[in-house]
């Protein structure tokens, strides 16, 4: 498979690494020490990087960097809105949390992410807010899933 433009943008990945946060960094360090790929567990030939391949680096990054995850999801969905089927350029598309973070949706799970066009995303968000207002009685999850704790800048 041909490498997407995202894979070629090394400088962007470097920039993304500024937003690297705790759990991911700790996992990477542990993987380097153990000389096994942080993503798939395969033995590493060198301890210079915690990834056995570019594919593993990419998947791992996507789980810990919002920008990288966004690119992975847009590509997976072929730059097509999953609600109305509109195919568009990257800048006109949003990556949406299928189950909102506010109600316990996982922020960095690919299965919880989908591509939506702006209008569909806006419609979904206002529907969500309206439903939530309408069902105040519904209890919110008492303790958040520790895996879903993201940085504060994480978009909804
Ligand atoms: Zn690997
Ligand atoms: Zn749409």
Total domains in the chain come to: 2
Distance of CA 87 from the midpoint of ligand 2 (Å): 8
Question: How does pLDDT run across 48-59, given as a tens digit for each residue?
Answer: 889 999 889 888
44 & 91 share domain: no
Is position 22 within any domain?
no
Is position 2 within any domain?
no
Is position 101 within any domain?
yes
DSSP letter at 116? E
Question: How does pLDDT run across 98-154, given as a tens digit for each residue?
Answer: 998 888 887 778 889 999 999 999 999 999 999 888 766 555 555 444 454 444 444
Planar angle of CA 65, 66, 67, nearest 5 degrees: 95
- Determine if the pTM surpasses 0.95: no
Is position 130 within any domain?
yes
Question: How does pLDDT run across 2-13, given as a tens digit for each residue?
Answer: 444 444 444 444
94 & 118 share domain: yes
Is position 14 within any domain?
no
Is position 135 within any domain?
yes
82 & 146 share domain: yes
Per DSSP, the three-state class of 54 is helix
Is position 84 within any domain?
yes
Distance of CA 60 from the midpoint of ligand 1 (Å): 9
Q: Under 8 Å CB-to-CB from 28, ≥6 apart: which residues?
A: 38, 50, 60
130 & 88 share domain: yes
Is position 10 within any domain?
no
Q: Of the residues 64, 90, 112, which one is the last residue of a structural domain?
A: 64
86 & 36 share domain: no
**Which residues have their alpha-adjacent CB atom under 5 A from ion ligand 2?**
81, 83-84, 86, 117, 120
102 & 127 share domain: yes
Question: How does pLDDT run across 29-38, given as a tens digit for each residue?
Answer: 889 999 999 9
**Which residues have their alpha-adjacent CB atom under 5 A from ion ligand 1?**
37, 39-40, 42, 52, 56
**pLDDT classification of 67: cutoffs 50, 70, 90:** confident
Q: Which domain holds residue 98?
A: 77-150
């Amino acid at each position: 498979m041909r490498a997407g433009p995202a894979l070629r943008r090394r400088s962007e990945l470097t920039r993304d690494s500024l937003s690297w946060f705790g759990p991911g960094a700790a996992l990477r360090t542990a993987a380097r020490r153990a000389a096994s790929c942080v993503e798939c567990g395969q033995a590493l030939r060198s301890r210079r990087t915690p990834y056995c391949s570019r594919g593993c680096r990419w998947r791992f990054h996507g789980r810990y960097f919002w920008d990288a995850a966004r690119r992975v999801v847009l590509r997976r969905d072929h730059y097509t809105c999953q609600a109305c089927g509109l195919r568009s350029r990257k800048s006109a598309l949003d990556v949406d949390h299928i189950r909102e973070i506010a109600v316990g949706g996982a922020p960095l799970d690919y299965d919880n992410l989908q591509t939506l066009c702006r209008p569909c995303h806006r419609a979904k968000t206002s529907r969500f807010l309206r439903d939530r207002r309408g069902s105040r009685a519904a209890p919110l999850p008492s303790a958040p899933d520790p895996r879903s704790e993201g940085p504060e800048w994480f978009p909804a």
